[in-house]
Amino acid sequence: MKVLLVGGGAREHALAWKLKQDSPALDLVAAPGNPGIAALARCVPVGVTDVAGLLALALAERPDLTVVGPEAPLSLGIVDRFRAAGLAVFGPTMSAASIETSKTFAKSLMLAAGVPTARAERHTDPTAARRALRNFGVPVVVKASGLAAGKGVIVCQSSDEALGAIDYILGGGFGEAGAEILIEEFMVGEELSVFALTDGERFELMPAAQDHKRLLDGDRGPNTGGMGAYAPSSLASTVGAGGRDPMSDAAAIVERTLWALRDAGRPFTGLLYAGLMVTAHGSRVVEFNCRFGDPETEAVLPLMESSLLDRLLAIGRDGRLLDAPARWRSDAAVTTVLAAANYPDTPRTGDPIVLPTPPANVQVFHAGTALDASGTLVTAGGRVLAVTAVAATVEEARTLSASHAARIEFDGKQFRSDIAWREVDRRARAT
């Protein structure tokens, strides 16, 4: 069997690792891949936004399935193009991917379908946006409507910060992604990431994870694409308002959203990622993504005992969700992201990396790495590596992950030592 994997980050490395765990004989082709993925697959230098090139590659390779990792090719209609060519592909169509690629569309869909979410207004004019701030107060959230590599959300603690965020985004700070903004109510609670595998009608939830967006320990510093994650989160089983737990809320939210997308003529197949805020009044949607999240994928997949490959094939090739639910390890996984010098502003690249051999229960996923002309592994992106440890408890997994992250060497390395701190704190308070 042959699979084409589109992407070249840590998420795709984790997907490649899991697919090869499921089927060691799998013929895996990655475009463009990275040095870590190259140990598992044949890497072909076709970029993720080169949809025509990816289609030509797939027509030449004739994979049994193409798995699309990042959102950019989904936003460009790769699934539509592949299906039109008779190729099996896991992921949503371009119109269904709008649940992530247009925050305005997603917000309108949620409000019309009664999906719990924050109150928001859309704006393209800075003057009107500034006036709208009076209706929200502070704190307030200002979002770029389009794709901004996970960095298009600014939480503002003061009016001056909010005014600055409006000017920055509408002034081109995130390029075309910020041509339209949402001014959104600030929600109080903890965020939870929930993945749903779906054939468009039925769905299966994966264990909930929690991401860590801020650069520094204690959730301080600038927002990033994600500095680490852990799974599962006990927050997901905490009974809240109305006697419901967040996973029950997540199931209801996913069901209603899938129904709304079908009703809008945009049936969604693939992986729907619900970013939830668990509040005192129940779970509300922060955002949806149309693909596996990063770095949550690196924490969730190592806990999966069942075959992911079988599930992706069933949805992407056969158009159906497997009947039997997946089996999961009872352990905990913690992922620590190592970032380059000057991340997230202007990450420095080209710094040599020293990678010690990890212990058996630790996986190192490559995010932004490359081989230079001499064959030396060097930094090649903002987030460089993701170190995932699996252990019986979250405390043990965090210690293992942070310990191995500390052993990896490159100049300017940045990482958080407190990933899963909320979970550790919850567990300590419960004893």
Q: What are the residue ranges spanned by the domains of the chain?
A: 2-93, 119-185, 190-316, 332-430
Give, for 27, the enclosing helix (H) or strand (E).
strand 27-32
Helix 308-316 to helix 10-22 angle, to the nearest 10 degrees?
Answer: 100
Identify the CATH homologous superfamily for domain 190-316. Answer: ATP-grasp fold, B domain (3.30.470.20)
Q: From residue 412, give the alpha-carbon distance in Å to each of 45, 225, 373, 417.
A: 28, 18, 21, 16
- The residue-averaged pLDDT of 123-141 equals 88
Rounded to whole angstroms, the Cα distance separating 317 from 231 reads 29
DSSP 352: B
Tell me, yes or no, if the two domains 190-316 and 332-430 fold the same way.
no
What is the pLDDT at residue 242? 67
CATH architecture assignment, domain 332-430: Alpha-Beta Complex (3.90)
Q: What rounded mean pLDDT belongs to the chain?
A: 95
- The residue-averaged pLDDT of 205-224 equals 95
What is the pLDDT at residue 313? 98
What class, spelled out in words, does domain 2-93 have in CATH? alpha beta
> How is residue 259 written in tokens?
């129904």
Is the pLDDT assigned to residue 243 strictly greater than 90?
no
Give, for 110, the enclosing helix (H) or strand (E).
helix 103-113
DSSP 212: -
Say whether pTM exceeds 0.75.
yes
What is the pLDDT at residue 120? 86
Which tops the pLDDT comparison, 98 or 126?
98
Give tens-digit pLDDT for 52-102: 999 999 999 999 999 999 999 999 999 999 999 999 999 999 999 999 999
- Taking the CA of residue 113 as centre, how many other CA atoms within 13 Å lie in the half-sphere pointing to its CB? 23
Give, for 400, the enclosing helix (H) or strand (E).
helix 394-407
Q: Which CATH number fits domain 119-185: 3.30.1490.20, 3.40.50.300, 3.30.420.40, 3.30.565.10?
A: 3.30.1490.20
Q: From residue 276, give the alpha-carbon distance in Å to each of 124, 143, 282, 294.
A: 26, 16, 10, 15
Is the pLDDT assigned to residue 150 strictly greater than 70?
no
- The residue-averaged pLDDT of 389-411 equals 98
β-pairing verdict for 27-32 and 2-7: parallel
Give tens-digit pLDDT for 312-340: 999 999 999 999 999 999 999 999 999 99
